[in-house]
Amino acid sequence: MNTCPDCPDESCSTCRFWAEKVSWAEDGDTIPQYTDAAIIRANGQHFIAFPLDRHTPPQHLGFGGHLWMFQMLDGRQVVTNNVMHQGTIPAWFRDRLPDNAAIAPAPIPKTRVPFGANEGLS
Ligand SMILES: [Zn+2]
């Protein structure tokens, strides 16, 4: 489907949501309020990758602090534990929001896994 099923002129809330993402793409994949975030479009999904965050408890990070790596089509790699998913890009927006990355396997963490709460105390 190449047109919105809910409105004739991209005025509905779904269209307005994705029109904002088009404006980010047209601004060189930047978000006005999050200048240090990377915009990721991979497999027709839209993500915001915030910088790696070693201080915030994982439960307060996107996807519970799961580590992601994105291989950007321009050659950069984005590795972070704080990703937000905006959803599947609707078909009628895909040509304006083409993929700019692939989801790559997350790298092996270089830091040691923390000890368990009681380990080493006996
Ligand atoms: Zn619409």
**DSSP assignment of the chain, as one string?**
--S-SS-SSS-SHHHHHHHHHHHHHHTTS-BTTBTT-EEEEETTEEEEEPPP-SSS-GGGSGGGG--EEEEETTS-EEEES-EEEEEEPPGGGTTTS---EEEEPPPPPSSPPPPPTTTT--
Q: Over the stretch 23-59, which tens digit does the pLDDT of each residue have?
A: 999 999 999 999 999 999 999 999 999 999 999 999 9
CA of 52 to the centre of ligand 1 (A): 34
CA of 19 to the centre of ligand 1 (A): 10
pTM for this structure?
Answer: 0.84
Residue 42 pLDDT: 97
